[in-house]
Structures are given as C-alpha cells and as structure tokens.
Amino acid sequence: MQNMTKTVRIVAICCILASFFVLPVPLPAQTPRTETADEIVAKVFAARGGLDKIRVINSQRISGHISFGDNSGPFVVELKRPLKMHMQLTIQNMTMVRVYDGQSNGWANNPFAGKMNPDTMSAEELKNINEESDFDGPLVDYQKKGNKIELLGKDKVKDQDVWRVRLTTKDGDVRHYLFDADSFLLIKWEGKRKYEGKEFPVESFFSDYREVHGLKFAFEIDSGASATDITQKISIERIELNPQISDAEFSKPTLPASAPSAPPATPSSPTASRAKPTPSDAKPAALTDSNQILRFPRPGVIRLNSSKV
C-alpha cells in the first residue's frame, strides 16, 4: 500500500513538472518600435529621389511668378555651389535684386522701400543669406552644419497624417517640418520671421509636386500667418538643374536691371496658363523688407516672405 501511495505521488509530481513544458510560458512585453528623426529624414530624401541625386546638383535656376494680393510679377533665382545666389523679381516695373558671392560679400536693393541701388549687405543679412543660399538645406548633413533635429511624432494637416520634425539651427532658430506620413514629401513648414525688430509666425504650404530629372519639387507654395491668412503665393514654372551660370552673376549687380523674362514651362507642367492678378498702383507692403523675399525652405522647394530655413 505504501509503495502504491509512493508511486501515485511520484506520478503526480511528474504530471506537475510536465505541465510546465506544456503550458505556454508568458513572454516579456514587447515595446512597440518607434521611428527616429534620422529614419524619417532618410525617407524624406528617398521620396524626393535620393540623397545621391541631391548632392550632384551643382547649380539650379528657378523661375516663375510671385504674387502679393493683387500685385504679381516674374522672378528668377539662381544658385550655385558653394553658397552663391542671385535673386531677381519685378513688380510694377520695379526690380528687386539680392546677390551673394558665396564667400563674404552680398548686395541688395529694394525699390519698394525707396532703395534703388544695390548696397552692401550688413553682417546680419550675410548671416541669413549664407544659410539661405545653401540649396541642400539644413536637413542634409545637419550635424556637420551644427543643426539638431527631433521627431515630435504624428500630427495632422487638415485631414492628412504627417510626421512633425523640429529643427534647431546652430544659432538657436527653431523651425518645424511636416512631412506627409505616406509620401514623406514636405507639405507644411512653420517658423518665424523678423520684421522691424519683432517676430511673426509664418506658415508655408507646399503642393503640386513634379519630377525634374528624377527629383521631386513643389511647384506651388502659399505662405502667410496661417492657413486662413495666405498673403503670398509662388507659382514655379520652370526648374533647371545644373544649368551653366557664369560666376559674374554673383558679383555686385548694376542697375537698372532688366526684368526677369517669363520662362517656358517645365515639360511636365500643365499647359493651361494661370491667370495673373492685375497690379495695382499701391506698393505691396510685403515687399518693403527685401530680406524676407523668396527664401528657400528645404528640401527642394522655395518659399517667400518668411524667416531663413
């Protein structure tokens, strides 16, 4: 009897031990994988066509029309490595020019503020234009440029899901880039601009993306204090990559400058012409500060009347 009882106990113990091998063992909780800022930015470069294609651009010419309310006119911006820029726009038969030689000299005039001849830029203007003329933008090689990026997570622009990336420059300026969560193309930029010693919020919206030699660019940029307060619009009509541009274009300009001619449309652009507002006799208030015109938020798009990007 004792042997039987002992046998039963042994069998029971074996059954209990066996149950540890049969029953599922709970696994440690899995932490959901989160995206990083570097991963999002890498997808942004890939969506545009690839970082390798961006890096081989040595010069760029962008032309189209810019409008401020009822006033509009043609513009041309030329960029060339390293950091050279020539911008020119004409409204109401008055031409504004901003030029930077890529080293230490820059010149600007603003006929809308009564400044007809191009004068040497101040140290503050040169600081701003040095970054503006970098058409790679602050996200490419951001660490080498002293910039920092942070991924703030998902957000919404109207009904679109977006990734919000915050960029802080080496000078402490903060900008927000909102990339479409599916296409990873830039659809909104948020920042501030300085005017008469004060800072004002600025939002830029990017649309009508088209491909130019394997790279995607936004051909429509609307800017203002908010989505319901759009005061300036850019309609790009042509983007040329690696055009031949003489270095003389980036030396001190002489006036009177000829107005930028209306460029032929980019082959992939719609053939229908856009109606242009009829200029009024009043000077556009948005043009009184030449340092706030035709800034270049990156990657690969231009904005106007906002802080440097």
Sorted by where each starts, the structural domains of the chain and their CATH numbers stand as: 37-292 (2.50.20.10)
Cα–Cα distance measured from residue 24 to residue 65, given in angstroms and rounded to the nearest whole number: 68
The Cα–Cα gap between 203 and 84 comes to: 26
Contact 129, 295 (CB under 8 A): no
- State the DSSP string of 119-164: EEPPHHHHHHHHHHT-TT-SSTTTTTTT-EEEEEEEEEETTEEEEE
Query: Per residue of the chain (309 residues), what is the pLDDT tens digit?
Result: 555 555 545 444 444 444 444 444 555 555 566 889 999 999 999 999 999 999 999 999 999 999 988 899 999 999 999 999 999 999 989 999 999 999 989 999 989 888 888 999 988 888 778 778 888 889 999 999 999 999 999 999 999 999 999 999 998 999 999 999 999 999 999 998 776 677 888 999 999 999 999 999 999 999 988 888 888 999 999 999 999 999 999 999 876 545 555 455 554 443 333 434 344 444 554 555 544 454 544 444 444 443 333
Token pair 């651009």: residue: 57
* C-alpha Rg value of the chain to the nearest Å: 28
Q: What is the DSSP letter of 287?
A: G
Q: What three-state secondary structure class fits 41?
A: helix
CA distance 304 to 290: 10
Cα gap 129→98, rounded to integer Å: 9
First to last CA, the chain: 90
Q: What angle do CA 69, 223, 172 make, to 5 degrees?
A: 140
Calpha distance 154→180 (Å, rounded): 10
Question: How far is 9 from 19, CA to CA, in rounded Å?
Answer: 15
